[in-house]
Homo-oligomer: A and B are copies of this chain.
Amino acid sequence: MANLRQASLRHANLALVARTVLGADVPPSRADVAAVTSLTRSTVSRLVDDLVAGGVLEEVASVVGGPGRPGRPGTPLRASTGRFAALGLQIGVGHLAARLVDLSGAVLAERLVTTDLAGSRPAPTLRRLRSHAARVLAAAPDGCRVIGAGLALPGIVDATSGRLLSAPNLGWEDVDPGPALAEPLGDLPLQVGNEADLAAHAFASPAPGRHREPSDFVYLSGEVGIGGAVVVGGAVMTGRHGWAGEIGHVCVDPDGPACRCGSTGCLEQYAGRLAMLSAAGLDAGTTSAELARRAHEGDEQACAAVRSAARALGIALSGVVNVLDIPTVVLGGHLAQVGDLLAPEVDALLGRRVLSAHWVSPTVVVASDDPAPGATGAALLALQKVVTEPVRLTDA
């Protein structure tokens, strides 16, 4: 009993120290960690030694004239680079991605392929992803331990079984991706999730234990369609079945165009990538960067496409903010590539249509234009166990 209690205390303290270092904005010293956690300096030092030996933390190399000397109370600590990593995979309608991400949030290896997967068949697509996954895993640096994998999919996922129930823009129904990926993954656990939820997780927590402010926001993930997620207190809201966040299917105009989902006038029929390209008179292969270039140059059709998308985003998002009282909106994916064009008009519409805007102005934030943030989010989620159960990793 005494040993069990001691083990569980050590587990809790290791997790506390790991969270404290990983979550710090500036690399803290052992003394800083002791001050924050209220553990004694000697306890902290012992735990830090274990986390450094186990590869979770590393000491920042001392600079000339700096205070740091390895193992000393004053040496700054940070997440180790290249020691623990997870594999993030993503199937988008326009790309396949495989990424190896480490504890610092750095990408150690990556394969990112632009490809048109609308109407694709699941089996050959999963075979292509498998080969990317294998190559990225093979590129892991020496001494790097891969501890998990995640797959981001553009549709409704059953979190329990890991099956994709439906991805209308891929044309996929009821697909189980696990078996096709079993070979390169071996014993690695694979967690399957919705791409917008995972991209939102990466935005909320750009490295395990690290949190961005504000920790409440509405995230839109633009691709061919539009996915979304709602983040409250840094955590992605799941809803009853894990299907929350389908902002792309909020109705903007009931008399609007038919959507693949069976409804009419859905947001993605105005602000999805294909809808914007078509409104701009461009073919489906055109990049969003090209659309943005044309709009910046004043091309009339491109500008009209941007205006129509911004109006639809303003209408749909004002409803979301009215319902949730979360006045921060993040534009990700292809919406980020045209984000500077969209943001002013979306901002103005939120100001006019959100009931509480008089007291708190809604804000529009443009994310990075990474086309596969869901892959990063899938890897980061798999790395979370370093913060929640470091003892299993350091004692292994």
Contact = CB atoms under 8 A, between A and B. Distances in A.
Interface of A: 156, 165-166, 216, 228, 230, 237-247, 249-255, 261-263, 311, 315-316, 318-320, 322-327, 352-353, 355-356, 358-360
Would you list the 5 A-B pairs with minimal beta carbon distance, nearest first? A239-B325, A244-B325, A250-B319, A246-B322, A243-B325
Contacts of A311: 254
24 contacts: A165-B359, A230-B324, A239-B326, A241-B325, A241-B359, A242-B325, A243-B355, A243-B356, A244-B324, A244-B325, A246-B355, A247-B323, A249-B322, A251-B315, A251-B318, A253-B254, A262-B352, A262-B353, A263-B318, A263-B353, A316-B319, A319-B320, A320-B323, A323-B324
Contacts of A323: 228, 230, 244-247, 250, 320, 323-324
Contacts of A238: 325
A121 B93 CA distance: 57
A254 B253 CA distance: 7
B156 A254 contact: no
A247 B237 CA distance: 19
A156 B356 CA distance: 8
Copy number in this complex? 2
A165 to B, nearest CB: 6
Nearest to A360: B241
A360 B262 CA distance: 16
Nearest to A267: B319
A294 to B, nearest CB: 26
Contacts of A165: 359
Contacts of A251: 252, 315, 318-319, 353
A246 B228 CA distance: 20
A245 B165 CA distance: 29
A320 B322 CA distance: 10
Nearest to A356: B243
A346 to B, nearest CB: 14
A360 B240 contact: yes
Given A254-B252, A254-B253, A315-B254, A247 B322 contact: yes
A349 to B, nearest CB: 9
Nearest to A165: B359
A85 B385 CA distance: 48
